[in-house]
Amino acid sequence: MPASYTHPVVAQVLSALEKARPFLHILIGPRQVGKSTAANDIVKRWRAPAHFAAADGPLPPGPEWVTAQWEVARSLSRTSDTGALLVLDEIQKVRGWSETIKALWDEEKRTGGTVNVILLGSSSLLMQQGLTESLAGRFLLYRCPHWGYPEMRDAFGFTLDQWLYFGGYPGAAALADDEEQWRRYVADGLVETALARDVLQMHTIAKPALLRHLFGLAAAYPAQIFSYNKMLGQLQEAGNTTTLAHYLRLLETAFLATGLDLRRSSPMKRGSSPKLILWNNALISAVRNRTYAEVVEQDPTFRGRLVENAVGAHLLNHLGAGAVGYWRDGNDEVDFTVTTPRGMWGIEVKSGKPVSPRGMEKFLKQFPLAKPLIVGSGGLSLEDFFTTMPGELFA
- The pLDDT tens digits of the residues spanning 334-345 come to 999 999 998 999
pTM beyond 0.85 = yes
Which SS3 state, helix, strand or coil, does residue 192 take? helix
Contact assessment for residue 26 and residue 86, using Cβ atoms and an 8 Å cutoff? no
**Considering the chain, what is the average pLDDT of its residues?**
90
Report the C-alpha gap between 272 and 317 in whole angstroms.
Answer: 22
Is 8-143 a domain of CATH 3.40.50.300? Answer: yes
CA 385 to each of CA 154, 165, 222: distance values in angstroms, whole numbers, following the listed order = 16, 17, 19
- The total of other beta-carbon atoms located within 10 Å of residue 222's CB is 25
Q: Which residues pair with 373 in a beta bridge?
A: 347
Query: Percent of the chain having pLDDT more than 70?
Result: 95
- The pLDDT tens digits of the residues spanning 23-44 come to 999 999 998 899 999 999 999 9
Report the C-alpha gap between 42 and 12 in whole angstroms.
Answer: 10
The residue extents of the domains of the chain are: 8-143, 149-393
CA 96 to each of CA 200, 343, 377: distance values in angstroms, whole numbers, following the listed order = 18, 38, 51
- The pLDDT tens digits of the residues spanning 191-225 come to 998 888 878 777 788 888 899 999 999 999 999 99
Contact assessment for residue 88 and residue 69, using Cβ atoms and an 8 Å cutoff? yes
DSSP, res 198? I
Report the C-alpha gap between 370 and 360 in whole angstroms.
Answer: 10
| Among 42, 32, 36, CA closest to 55 | 36
